Structure 1
Amino acid sequence: MAAADLTAEPPALTPELVAALPKVVLHDHLDGGLRPATIVELAAEAGHELPTTDPAELGAWFVEAADSGSLERYLTTFDHTIAVMQTPDALRRVARESVLDLAADGVVYAEQRYAPEQHLQQGMSLQEVVDAVQQGFDEGVAEAAEAGRTITVGTLVTAMRHADRGVEIAELALANRDAGVVGFDIAGAEAAFPPSNHLEAFTLLRRSSFPVTIHAGESSGADAIWEALQLCGALRIGHGVRIDEDIELAADGSVDGARLGVLAHWVRDRQVPLEICPSSNLQTAAAESIATHPITMLRDLGFAVTINTDNRLMSGTSMSREISLLAAEAGWTLDDVEAATLTAAFNGFAHHDVLEAIVAEQILPAFAELAG
């Protein structure tokens, strides 16, 4: 066998190569990833009025409406997706299609999050919501396998941070920990709704040895990240880009000689995974451009960064698109993407043996082959 050429340049991240990469997404909202055509069909059945019934125009409307520079305005777009996800059949369809779309994009491990409490308008119970979504995930995984794509999907049951059902939703997550649910999250507007509002839920989950990720440091500052970690016991941080408030770069803007505050040191030293969503962060003004997005600076400083989509519909995006943007505008290489993919894979909330098998059987061989 010929020795590897260690001096060879890594291959360029062309669209074809990016499409072929095995991908891991830890931060992807089920209600933010619907197909526009599906929304149109389900809205007609539900009698829900949409801004337009043309699927292409509707997809463009979601991106434009979400591109407001405000997290609160961004979140209003979910009124339309939530409205069409109120029956078991609709939930099952949306979940199945989500898995198929992720698998078609090369995703081999995905954690899908959603808030069951938002799907009760037509009389379903919380458990019935979870059952319908899980059936859809299972159908999607099986259908993807028939098409030659292997994907593993775990569920993150989410509580809405502005509501008062945290304990109830935490108990729901625990009741389904052996039925597809791998973790817990809180989501929604950060302002005025700190993670500690749900401290009782987080205490229950910690005592039950159940994994938690928390949206923090997206629109709120670094203090929200501290609270999520030190008061609520988060193992990962959703977004987390505001950690840059606790980092002082050199006078020339370089990472050489950067000074990290106590929190930034904690996050880096403990290798707390950051579920960073570049395109979404631009839309909510958490970052100004892909070229200057904190993800690259954090990568260079040794933080545990991962690449995510957040809401594929609202950002008009996919994992392939996020990777391609980082390559084209921030200079990311194949090695950078592989490192972020492995960080994500080993920090999923599925059991370690499951993640280890995905890395050994799907991720490492594919990257090695693509690297030539």
Structure 2
Amino acid sequence: MPGGGVSINTLPKISLHDHLDGGLRPQTIIELAEAIGLDLPETDVESLQKWFYDQSSAGSLVEYLKTFDVTCAVMQTRDGLFRVAKEYVEDLALDGVIYGEVRWAPEQHLARGLTLDEAVEAVQDGLEAGIEHMEAQGKSIRTGQIITAMRHADRSLEIAELAVRYRFDGVVGFDIAGAEAGFPASNHRAAFDLLAREFMPTTVHAGEADGLDSIRSALFDGRALRLGHGVRLAEDVTIERQDDDNTFVTLGPVAQWVRDREITLELCPSSNLQTGAIAAWGDELLDHPFDLLYQLGFKVTVNTDNGLMGDTTLSQELALLSDAFGYDLDDLEVFQLNAAAASFLPLEDREELTKAIVAGFADA
């Protein structure tokens, strides 16, 4: 552990890129599946967790996404959404997270009769119940919903309208997700135009399963303030030469723009290994371009993406990076300060998060 044995779990942390339908407890899946008569690939907690991890580690985003067929299936009722959202907050708080932006796609939760609005309200009620439950245990946490549209579908304008409708009732931003290659942000220009007119902040999944063209579209068509993953932005970084003490690089125009404008990268190290997003650089965490981007001054943040699929937590992701790249507490604090500054909260709230992070790390 960095800092001579300091527990990362106790440090205040910010989670920006975490999918609600990728963070369920295996026991919850089993119980919700039984209630609706859904057959599962495994029926005990340990085996089911292993199934999710193994299925998600095929080196393909397309294969990775298939596991969500199971989690979404048990999140089609108000009770299911409420429980999953409540437990999501509890798990974050127990991991030391003081603010979490949870993204999810309401359009994927209508199979049992819920409307889009009812789904959003069920999740918000669950989040608030989780916050109240953890406050009773002496842990402070707040949340914000990021309403997500599926990029391979044609409902993005409707989902953008939904996000705007609930912007003062728990929703803080908008995203598009799903299979990236072949489905650029430009396909959803009408939705992003609406969001821009309404001054609703956006993050866009880009630079995970597709390269620089996808990132360009996220920035131009999506007006993205943050890049979901964005790891393949490193394709626009050319290493000219390297010696024992220095690495000399040239930034291409996309990378230069992202760095100079301080557009935040929502990096998800373990997930990027599982989906093959960093295959161009290698297949181990040490090969991840996270450290290169960090050392070059990009606004990097650390995220889980999907705790169930990766069998991980935010604290574990930070520990893995610390082991791989020798980060200390000062580095981990930078990642949290970057995340606080990039959150979709008002300035005053972001400043409060910053103060809490600085205070928490000072006490470590």
Name the residue aligned to 2:259: 268
Alignment counterpart, residue 188 of structure 2, candidates 171, 187, 198: 198
Alignment counterpart, residue 348 of structure 2, candidates 344, 347, 353: 353
SS in 2 for 1:258: strand
Shift of 1:250: 3.1
Is residue 122 from structure 1 mapped to residue 116 from structure 2 by the alignment? Answer: no
Shift of 1:14: 6.0
Q: Distance in 1 between matches of 2:76 and 2:46?
A: 23
Note the 1:307-326 alignment, pairs <5 A: 307-326=302-321
Q: Distance in 2 between matches of 1:15 and 1:119?
A: 43
Q: Distance in 2 between matches of 1:256 and 1:73?
A: 36
Name the residue aligned to 2:92: 102
Alignment-mate amino acid for residue 302 of structure 1: G
Q: Distance in 1 between matches of 2:3 and 2:48?
A: 30
Q: Distance in 2 between matches of 1:110 and 1:194?
A: 27
Is residue 34 from structure 1 mapped to residue 21 from structure 2 by the alignment? Answer: no
Note the 1:222-371 alignment, pairs <5 A: 222-252=212-242, 256-287=247-278, 288-360=283-355, 362-370=356-364
Is residue 170 from structure 1 mapped to residue 160 from structure 2 by the alignment? Answer: yes
Shift of 1:104: 0.1
Q: Distance in 1 between matches of 2:31 and 2:266?
A: 32
User: Aligned Cα RMSD in Å?
Assistant: 1.2
Q: Distance in 2 between matches of 1:192 and 1:339?
A: 35
Q: Distance in 1 between matches of 2:5 and 2:78?
A: 37
Q: Distance in 2 between matches of 1:50 and 1:16?
A: 39
Alignment counterpart, residue 77 of structure 1, candidates 42, 52, 67: 67
- What do the CA deviations read for 1:218-261 (whole angstroms, capped 9, x no partner)? 01001111110022211100000000110011333786321001
SS in 2 for 1:185: strand
Distance 1:179 1:263, change over 3 A: same
Alignment-mate amino acid for residue 50 of structure 1: L
Distance 1:324 1:90, change over 3 A: same
The question of whether the paired residues in 2 share the 8 Å contact of 1:249 and 1:255 is answered with no
The question of whether the paired residues in 1 share the 8 Å contact of 2:241 and 2:247 is answered with no
Q: Distance in 1 between matches of 2:68 and 2:37?
A: 17
- What do the CA deviations read for 1:269-293 (whole angstroms, capped 9, x no partner)? 0010000000000001112221121
SS in 2 for 1:268: helix
Name the residue aligned to 2:12: 22
The question of whether the paired residues in 2 share the 8 Å contact of 1:27 and 1:113 is answered with yes
SS in 1 for 2:334: helix
Alignment-mate amino acid for residue 24 of structure 2: L
Identity of paired residues, percent?
Answer: 51
TM-score, scaled to structure 2: 0.97
Alignment-mate amino acid for residue 261 of structure 1: G
SS in 1 for 2:175: strand
SS in 1 for 2:193: helix
Alignment-mate amino acid for residue 334 of structure 1: L
Alignment-mate amino acid for residue 369 of structure 1: D
Q: Distance in 2 between matches of 1:358 and 1:267?
A: 24
Alignment-mate amino acid for residue 295 of structure 2: D
The question of whether the paired residues in 2 share the 8 Å contact of 1:255 and 1:300 is answered with no
Distance 1:344 1:54, change over 3 A: same
Q: Distance in 2 between matches of 1:96 and 1:359?
A: 25
- What do the CA deviations read for 1:302-324 (whole angstroms, capped 9, x no partner)? 00000000000000000010000
Q: Distance in 1 between matches of 2:66 and 2:289?
A: 26
Gaps of 5+ in 1: 1-10
The question of whether the paired residues in 1 share the 8 Å contact of 2:241 and 2:248 is answered with no
Name the residue aligned to 1:188: 178
The question of whether the paired residues in 1 share the 8 Å contact of 2:2 and 2:327 is answered with no
Gaps of 5+ in 2: none
The question of whether the paired residues in 2 share the 8 Å contact of 1:255 and 1:301 is answered with no
Alignment-mate amino acid for residue 363 of structure 1: I
Name the residue aligned to 1:215: 205
The count of aligned residue pairs is 359
SS in 2 for 1:257: strand
Q: Distance in 2 between matches of 1:222 and 1:240?
A: 9
Name the residue aligned to 1:8: none
Q: Distance in 2 between matches of 1:348 and 1:240?
A: 16
The question of whether the paired residues in 2 share the 8 Å contact of 1:275 and 1:308 is answered with yes
Q: Distance in 2 between matches of 1:255 and 1:130?
A: 49
Name the residue aligned to 2:144: 154
